[in-house]
């Protein structure tokens, strides 16, 4: 048994976020240990996505957010603004972040594409497909591949299986389990699914409306 | 503008050129420069309001379109009004040609430099910002490029039709392109062919070149719609 406590990769102290006069997050303090998985839960409107956007530095706030010096964040947003009519292929999307095709292929393999010989034709078709034409499950795995480019040590996943069917959800959480095992990753994810929290999370942050 | 779902903002920007042309004519300076000055002011206005207020872009378009058109119609001397609204290729001189070549080179170079960030912002502004992309800056540069495109086009197509050539080649290309790369190629191709074929048709039938160019572009749009990717 390892008695050494893992170091923190994120420390949040007395965080407050408000839009105009409306307080969204108030007096929020927590820390996340390196390589842990934190589930963020709470009702709609409790500020889960706002918390993510604040952690990413997209929203101004009061209080303290301290990431470790070596932090590299991969972010999977809940949804994209891209419709089926935008002619951006999956490969072109991934190339927006990484020039090296070999690294892109590695990330795609990691999220389950190009893995099995019998799926190879389907997977090659997916790479050439318009981003907006993917199924919910495929899009989530592509967003995960995008997040994994650039070797992040933290993943922020905003409701990664919202709008995905049961099979797609199962595939996604199998990938989730494998990533936790194979890569040194700290994962912070938003979910509404209690079972997912029980199976995958090391700790839980529950946000409420009480502020 | 089409991929950003801001087509009508591009169209409204072209109308903003009218008061600029009018002021240029009044003071005897190149109307293209007058148009550019008016466009720059409007671009900063649209950008500032879209970044710092919650006014919908459609509402901004409505306000800028009607205000500019009204102001332009009041200020433009009547003999030049038709030309300002619909353009006249015969009035384009060597100086305008030089401006256009330099302007086009700047547009291509800057677009190339910001294209990845711009595309990422179209996919998700949050994703782009999380990677450190300053989206407000990229959006402003982009609007300024559109303003420059419009300024270069107003003397040829006029303030009412220039917006069409910002939109039509891109919409036509979007119908048939399989990727962003092919979208860029198709859009450039439709733009160039529409301009060249439109001018030749206008010469042959002795009709104004502006409407001929725009209608040629519309023809390509219809063809692209027929062969649209399912």
Burial zone of B226 (CB within 10 Å; 0-12 exposed, 13-18 middle, 19+ buried): exposed
User: Nearest chain B Cα to A99, which residue?
Assistant: B116
Residue B7 pLDDT greater than 90, yes or no: no
Q: Which of A57, A88, A128 sits opposite B180 (nearest CB)?
A: A88
For the segment B106-157, what is each residue's pLDDT rounded down to a tens digit?
999 999 999 999 999 988 888 999 898 998 899 889 989 988 988 888 888 8
A25 within 8 A of A47, measured Cβ to Cβ: yes
pLDDT > 90 in chain A, percent: 40
Looking up tokens 């933290």 gives: A154
User: Nearest chain A Cα to B177, which residue?
Assistant: A87
The pLDDT mean for chain A works out to 85
Nearest-neighbour CA in chain A from B122: distance (Å): 7
Q: Is some CB atom of chain A closer than 8 A to the CB atom of B192?
A: no
Q: Check CB contact under 8 Å for B127 and A53.
A: no
Residues from A contacting B (CB-CB < 8 Å) are: 53, 56-58, 73, 75, 77, 80-82, 85-89, 92-93, 96-97, 128, 130-131, 146
Stretch B63-76: mean pLDDT = 83
B142 vs B144: CA distance, rounded Å: 5
pLDDT of residue A117: 55
SS (H, E, C) B12-76: HHHHHHHHHHHHHHHCCCCHHHHHHHHHHHHHHHHHHHHHHCCCCHHHHHHHHHHHHHHHHHHHC
For the segment B171-217, what is each residue's pLDDT rounded down to a tens digit?
999 999 989 999 999 999 999 999 999 999 999 999 888 899 999 99
Stretch A56-65: mean pLDDT = 92
B194 vs B150: CA distance, rounded Å: 16
Chains A, B: CB contacts within 8 A come to: 63
Task: Name the token pair of B119.
Answer: 């595309």
The pLDDT mean for chain B works out to 86
| Separation in Å, CA B43 to CA B102, B135, B207, B214 | 20, 16, 33, 24
pLDDT of residue A72: 92
pLDDT of residue A65: 95
pTM (predicted TM-score): 0.83
Residue A48 pLDDT greater than 80, yes or no: yes
Stretch A44-66: mean pLDDT = 92
């Amino acid at each position: 048994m390892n008695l050494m406590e893992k170091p923190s990769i994120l420390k949040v102290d007395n965080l407050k976020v408000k839009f105009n006069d409306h307080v969204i997050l108030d007096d929020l303090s927590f820390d996340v240990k390196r390589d842990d998985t934190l589930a963020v839960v709470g009702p709609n409107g409790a500020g889960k996505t706002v918390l993510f956007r604040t952690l990413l530095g997209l929203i101004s706030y009061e209080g303290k957010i301290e990431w470790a010096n070596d932090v590299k964040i991969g972010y999977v947003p809940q949804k994209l603004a891209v419709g089926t009519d935008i002619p951006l292929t999956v490969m072109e999307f991934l190339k927006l972040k990484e020039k090296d095709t070999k690294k892109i292929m590695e990330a795609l393999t990691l999220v389950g594409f190009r893995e099995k010989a019998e799926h190879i034709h389907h997977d090659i078709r997916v790479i050439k497909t318009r981003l907006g034409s993917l199924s919910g499950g495929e899009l989530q795995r592509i967003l995960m591949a995008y997040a994994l480019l650039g070797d992040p040590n933290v993943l922020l996943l905003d409701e990664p299986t919202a709008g995905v069917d049961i099979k797609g959800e199962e595939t996604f959480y199998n990938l989730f389990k494998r990533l936790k095992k194979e890569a040194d990753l700290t994962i912070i994810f938003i979910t509404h699914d209690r079972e997912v929290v029980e199976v995958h999370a090391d700790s839980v942050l529950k946000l409420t409306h009480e502020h | 503008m089409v991929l950003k779902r801001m087509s009508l903002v591009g169209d409204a920007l072209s109308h903003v050129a009218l008061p600029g042309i009018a002021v240029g004519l009044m003071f005897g300076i190149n109307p293209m420069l007058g148009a550019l000055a008016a466009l720059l002011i409007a671009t900063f206005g649209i950008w500032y309001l879209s970044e710092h207020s919650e006014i919908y872009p459609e509402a901004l378009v409505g306000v800028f379109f009607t205000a500019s058109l009204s102001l332009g119609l009041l200020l433009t001397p009547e003999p030049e009004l038709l030309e300002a609204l619909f353009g006249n290729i015969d009035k384009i001189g060597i100086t305008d040609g030089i401006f256009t070549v330099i302007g086009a080179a700047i547009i291509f170079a800057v677009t190339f430099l910001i294209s990845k960030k711009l595309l990422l912002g179209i996919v998700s502004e949050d994703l782009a910002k999380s990677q450190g992309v300053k989206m407000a800056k990229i959006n402003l540069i982009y609007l300024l490029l559109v303003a420059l495109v419009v300024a270069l086009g107003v003397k040829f197509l006029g303030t009412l039709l220039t917006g069409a050539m910002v939109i039509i080649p891109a919409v036509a290309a979007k119908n048939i392109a399989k990727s962003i790369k092919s979208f860029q190629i198709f859009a450039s191709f439709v733009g160039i062919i529409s301009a060249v074929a439109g001018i030749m048709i206008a010469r042959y039938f002795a009709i104004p070149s502006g409407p001929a160019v725009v209608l040629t572009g519309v023809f390509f749009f219809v063809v692209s719609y027929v062969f649209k990717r399912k």
